[in-house]
């Protein structure tokens, strides 16, 4: 059977070859070549047509989907616009129009996905300033500060002098808590566009609180002018009112407050600002305004809670408890007013009433606060077994807060306010993982570690603060000083100390830290030259005095060193600073026992005095010795 199959195959092969031979007999070789060429060409054209047709259809479909998505976006049909844009990405994963539609749709819906879509646009347009600024703005909006910072770092150097860049960089600085950098960026934006009233307003609001007289005067003039411009009138009046209250110019504040109350854009918060004024200015006007505001506040639960919070913060918690008796129970027994009333009970230290108040119905999404106030009342009642009850209630409150950052932040603030240090520390550590809240959390942790003299944790916290805000001179200086104290990354610390000083050479903290870095590098004379330019009173802070004592001892300035040692002893110091102080004291003791104490070296240049102005010395007179930070006769104010 197998042999038959082989014979059949052999016959077919022979017939096939014979047919080819017949074809060769019918056509000349040239004709046959042409025929083959035509067949090959036809096949190629068919493939090209097929490929082009598929691509043309692909482009047509993509264009049609983009058009439909754009139409839906224009009609605020965000969900369908996003759905069609996603279909486009299935056809072309790098479709710029699709990413732009998705970014705009998610942005208008206030969705965090905006950041991801803006990031894709910036990837596809790496040389476009607006793409990076839009990404940074979106990241700031949703609290992703690291993403915002990286977006600005990718902006081309020649675009970094443009106003739009400085505006976004300024808002990033504000989010990072760097007020100085924010002011610098807003000033740079205004230099680029000096007639932009928004830039004028933003800078003036900052500068009126700057502490620099010239800047304050300019800011006040700018805001006064902007009160005549409708879009900025109310905001300018608020800033001017705060300024007048802060400098106790109550007559000017009264006039501004009346203007603010007549403004069409007046808010409930503005009434509270006016209450701040009249409480200081005129008790009768204050009582009249408070009586006027209470019925307005009672219309809305949020406004009622705002007024109660203001009263709690201004010594009127007892009045809140009287007012609540006149309000409907459905307003007072539910958040947010119920929370404010709980705070009133805590403020007047009525623990039994607070405990009864928080034993009622649940507070819904604010249940964690009811449990927290109940735990605090239990702890303060100091009865047997209350510690166990407090622990149980507090842990339940933390579980009720869940992993929601806003709730953990509120709970952390309460724990800090109530001096629950252990509970506050753990909460702040969790809050610090959330980028928008990181600065507040790290500042709070630094305060805890300073109070407990926990230098290793304080160092780690300052390191994180520096990483979050690397351009902030004060933060950089504090981090560098701790690194030098603990002998951590000494070379980097010395470089950072110099960077901080270069950025803010008139800041005492930065100068003292740089002086300490120079001392560690064996360059004490340079440190003394820098610090002797500062007014003596600025260097008599207990912490600063430690380093001044160390420098003076190293330069054999015995009397000045003794003066700083006495100043340092009067204030709280870190454990490592106490070691430095002991080192300086030992050096002075050895110098004193060896020989008579030398006089302090005179200052090479007159120090800048910030004392109360008096008669200026004549040109022939010598500078007052009290102005020299190395003169032991310098005043030594008691540290706070």
Per-residue pLDDT tens over the stretch 170-186 = 999 998 888 889 999 99
Average of per-residue pLDDT across 82-108? 91
Q: Which of 217-221, 361-365, 380-384 has the weakest average pLDDT?
A: 380-384
The model's confidence at residue 607, banded by pLDDT at 50, 70 and 90, is very low
Give pLDDT, residue 640: 35
Per-residue pLDDT tens over the stretch 301-360 = 999 999 999 999 999 999 999 999 999 999 999 999 999 999 999 999 999 999 999 997
Neighbouring CB atoms inside 10 A of 84's CB total 23
Count Cβ neighbours within 10 Å for each residue of 575-589 and write b for 16 or more, e otherwise: ebbeebbeebbebbe
638 and 599 assigned to the same domain? yes
User: Does the pLDDT value for residue 632 go beyond 50?
Assistant: no
User: Does the pLDDT value for residue 17 go beyond 80?
Assistant: no
471 and 574 assigned to the same domain? no
Comparison of pLDDT for 444 and 176, the residue scoring more? 444
Do the domain assignments include residue 563? yes
Give pLDDT, residue 239: 94
End-to-end, the C-alpha distance of the chain in Å comes to 114
Give pLDDT, residue 117: 94
CATH number of the structural domain spanning residue 479: 1.25.40
Do the domain assignments include residue 47? yes
The model's confidence at residue 91, banded by pLDDT at 50, 70 and 90, is confident
Give pLDDT, residue 603: 37
Instruction: Identify the DSSP state of 486.
Output: T
Q: Give every CB contact of residue 473 below 8 A, 6+ residues apart in sequence.
A: 180, 500, 503, 504, 507, 510
Instruction: Identify the DSSP state of 607.
Output: -
Contact present, 421 and 445 (Cβ < 8 Å): no
Q: Which of 34-38, 247-251, 434-438 has the weakest average pLDDT?
A: 34-38
Give pLDDT, residue 434: 87
509 and 583 assigned to the same domain? no
Domain count for the chain, please give it. 3
Average of per-residue pLDDT across 65-73? 89
Give pLDDT, residue 39: 67
* Closest listed residue to residue 205, CA positions, set 182, 239, 168: 239
Contact present, 609 and 533 (Cβ < 8 Å): no
Comparison of pLDDT for 1 and 500, the residue scoring more? 500
Average of per-residue pLDDT across 54-76? 80
Comparison of pLDDT for 284 and 594, the residue scoring more? 284
536 and 515 assigned to the same domain? no
Give pLDDT, residue 119: 95
Q: Which of 114-123, 129-138, 248-257, 384-393 has the weakest average pLDDT?
A: 384-393
User: Does the pLDDT value for residue 292 go beyond 80?
Assistant: yes
Q: Which of 56, 71, 94 is the last residue of a domain?
A: 56
Q: Which of 524, 544, 577 is the last residue of a domain?
A: 524
538 and 637 assigned to the same domain? yes
Q: Which of 41-50, 202-211, 400-409 has the weakest average pLDDT?
A: 41-50
Task: Please state, in angstroms and as integers, the Cα–Cα distance from residue 136 to each residue in 131, 139, 148, 622, 624, following that order.
Answer: 9, 5, 4, 56, 53
User: Does the pLDDT value for residue 516 go beyond 60?
Assistant: yes
Per-residue pLDDT tens over the stretch 379-427 = 998 765 668 899 999 999 999 998 888 999 999 999 999 999 999 999 9
CA 460 and chain centroid, separation: 18
Residues of the chain by 3-state class (helix, strand, coil), percent to 5? 75, 0, 25
Give pLDDT, residue 281: 82
User: Does the pLDDT value for residue 613 go beyond 50?
Assistant: no
What token pair was written down for 33?
A: 């070549």
Average of per-residue pLDDT across 272-281? 87
The model's confidence at residue 610, banded by pLDDT at 50, 70 and 90, is very low
15 and 37 assigned to the same domain? yes
Instruction: Identify the DSSP state of 112.
Output: T
509 and 571 assigned to the same domain? no
Give pLDDT, residue 357: 95
- CA atoms of 184 and 169, how far apart (whole Å): 10
537 and 637 assigned to the same domain? yes
Per-residue pLDDT tens over the stretch 144-153 = 888 999 999 9
Give pLDDT, residue 617: 38
Indicate the length of the chain as a whole number: 640
User: Does the pLDDT value for residue 45 go beyond 60?
Assistant: no
Do the domain assignments include residue 285? no
Question: Cis peptide leading into 518, omega within 30 of 0?
Answer: no
The model's confidence at residue 278, banded by pLDDT at 50, 70 and 90, is confident
The model's confidence at residue 614, banded by pLDDT at 50, 70 and 90, is very low
Long-range Cβ contacts of 52-61 (<8 Å, 24+ apart): 58/91, 61/91
Give pLDDT, residue 2: 54
Give pLDDT, residue 108: 92
Do the domain assignments include residue 577? yes
Give pLDDT, residue 262: 87
Give pLDDT, residue 418: 96
544 and 579 assigned to the same domain? yes
- CA atoms of 28 and 588, how far apart (whole Å): 118
Do the domain assignments include residue 365? no
Comparison of pLDDT for 519 and 624, the residue scoring more? 519
Do the domain assignments include residue 30? yes
Comparison of pLDDT for 205 and 615, the residue scoring more? 205
Which position has the token pair 């699709």?
98
Long-range Cβ contacts of 201-207 (<8 Å, 24+ apart): 201/226, 201/232, 201/235, 201/236, 202/167, 202/170, 204/236, 204/239, 205/235, 205/239, 206/179, 206/182, 207/183
The string of DSSP codes covering 495-531 is HHHHHHHHH-TT-HHHHHHHHHHHHHTT-HHHHHHHH
Do the domain assignments include residue 45? yes
The model's confidence at residue 592, banded by pLDDT at 50, 70 and 90, is confident
User: Does the pLDDT value for residue 21 go beyond 60?
Assistant: no
How high is the mean pLDDT of the chain?
85
Q: Which of 499, 524, 549 is the last residue of a domain?
A: 524
Do the domain assignments include residue 312? no
Give pLDDT, residue 385: 61
474 and 577 assigned to the same domain? no
Contact present, 581 and 549 (Cβ < 8 Å): yes
Comparison of pLDDT for 407 and 283, the residue scoring more? 407
* Closest listed residue to residue 431, CA positions, set 414, 406, 449: 406
Proportion of the chain above pLDDT 90, given as a percent: 62
What is the domain range of residue 45?
8-56
Task: Please state, in angstroms and as integers, the Cα–Cα distance from residue 457 to each residue in 447, 449, 496, 513, following that order.
Answer: 11, 7, 19, 19
18 and 45 assigned to the same domain? yes
User: Does the pLDDT value for residue 596 go beyond 90?
Assistant: no
Contact present, 219 and 208 (Cβ < 8 Å): yes
Per-residue pLDDT tens over the stretch 533-584 = 898 888 888 999 999 999 999 999 999 999 999 999 998 899 899 999 999 9
The model's confidence at residue 593, banded by pLDDT at 50, 70 and 90, is confident
Give pLDDT, residue 199: 95
User: Does the pLDDT value for residue 637 go beyond 60?
Assistant: no
Which position has the token pair 């700057």?
210
638 and 566 assigned to the same domain? yes
């Amino acid at each position: 059977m197998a042999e038959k199959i082989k014979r059949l195959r052999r016959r077919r092969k022979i017939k096939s070859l014979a047919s080819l031979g017949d074809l060769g007999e019918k056509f000349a070789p040239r004709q046959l070549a042409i025929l083959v060429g035509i067949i090959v060409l036809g096949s190629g054209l068919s493939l090209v047509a097929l490929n082009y047709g598929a691509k043309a259809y692909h482009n047509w479909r993509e264009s049609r989907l983009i058009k439909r998505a754009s139409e839906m976006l224009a009609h605020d049909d965000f969900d369908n616009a996003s759905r069609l844009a996603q279909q486009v990405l299935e056809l072309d994963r790098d479709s710029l129009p699709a990413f732009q539609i998705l970014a705009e749709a998610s942005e208008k819906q206030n969705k965090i996905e905006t950041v991801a879509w803006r990031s894709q646009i910036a990837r596809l347009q790496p040389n476009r300033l607006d793409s990076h600024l839009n990404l940074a703005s979106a990241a700031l909006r949703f609290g992703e500060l690291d993403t915002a910072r990286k977006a600005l770092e990718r902006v081309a150097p020649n675009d970094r002098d443009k106003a739009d860049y400085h505006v976004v960089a300024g808002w990033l600085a504000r989010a990072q808590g760097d007020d100085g950098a924010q002011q610098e960026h807003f000033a740079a934006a205004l230099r680029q566009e000096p007639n932009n009233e928004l830039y004028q307003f933003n800078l003036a609001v900052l500068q009126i609180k700057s502490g620099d007289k010239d800047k304050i005067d300019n800011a006040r003039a700018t805001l006064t002018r902007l009160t005549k411009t409708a879009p900025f009138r109310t905001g300018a009046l608020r800033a001017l009112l705060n300024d007048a209250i802060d400098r106790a110019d109550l007559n000017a504040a009264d006039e501004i407050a009346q203007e603010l109350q007549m403004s069409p854009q007046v808010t409930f918060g503005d009434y509270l600002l006016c209450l701040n004024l009249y409480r200081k200015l005129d008790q009768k006007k204050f009582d009249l305004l408070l009586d006027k505001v209470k019925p307005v506040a009672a219309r809305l639960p949020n406004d009622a809670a705002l007024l109660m919070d203001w009263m709690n913060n201004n010594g009127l918690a007892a009045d809140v408890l009287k007012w609540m008796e006149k309000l409907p129970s459905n307003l007072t027994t539910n958040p947010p007013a119920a929370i404010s009333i709980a705070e009133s009970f805590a403020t007047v230290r009525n623990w039994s009433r607070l405990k009864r108040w928080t034993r009622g119905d649940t507070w819904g999404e604010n249940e964690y606060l009811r449990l927290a106030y109940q735990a605090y009342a239990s702890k303060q009642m100091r009865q047997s077994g209350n510690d166990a009850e407090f622990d149980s209630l507090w842990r339940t409150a933390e579980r009720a807060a869940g992993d929601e950052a806003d709730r953990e932040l509120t709970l952390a603030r309460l724990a800090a306010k109530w001096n629950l240090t252990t509970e506050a520390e753990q909460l702040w550590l969790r809050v610090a993982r959330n980028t928008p809240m990181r600065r507040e959390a790290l500042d709070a942790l630094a305060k805890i570690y300073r109070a407990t003299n926990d230098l290793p944790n304080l160092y780690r916290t300052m390191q994180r603060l520096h990483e979050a805000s690397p351009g902030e001179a004060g933060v950089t200086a504090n981090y560098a000083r701790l690194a030098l104290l603990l002998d951590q990354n000494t070379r980097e610390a010395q470089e950072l100390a110099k960077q901080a000083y270069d950025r803010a050479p008139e800041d005492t903290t930065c100068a003292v830290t740089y002086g300490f870095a120079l001392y560690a590098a064996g360059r004490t004379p340079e440190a003394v030259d820098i610090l002797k330019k500062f007014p003596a009173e600025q260097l008599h802070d207990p912490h600063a005095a430690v380093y001044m004592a160390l420098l003076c001892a190293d330069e054999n300035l015995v009397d000045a060193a003794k003066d700083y040692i006495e100043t340092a002893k009067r204030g709280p110091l870190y454990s490592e600073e106490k070691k430095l102080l002991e080192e300086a004291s030992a050096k002075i003791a050895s110098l004193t026992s060896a020989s008579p104490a030398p006089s302090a070296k005179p200052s090479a240049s007159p120090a800048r005095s910030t004392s109360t102005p008096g008669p200026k010395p004549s040109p022939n007179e010598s500078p007052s010795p009290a102005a020299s930070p190395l003169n032991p006769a310098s005043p030594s104010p008691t540290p706070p």
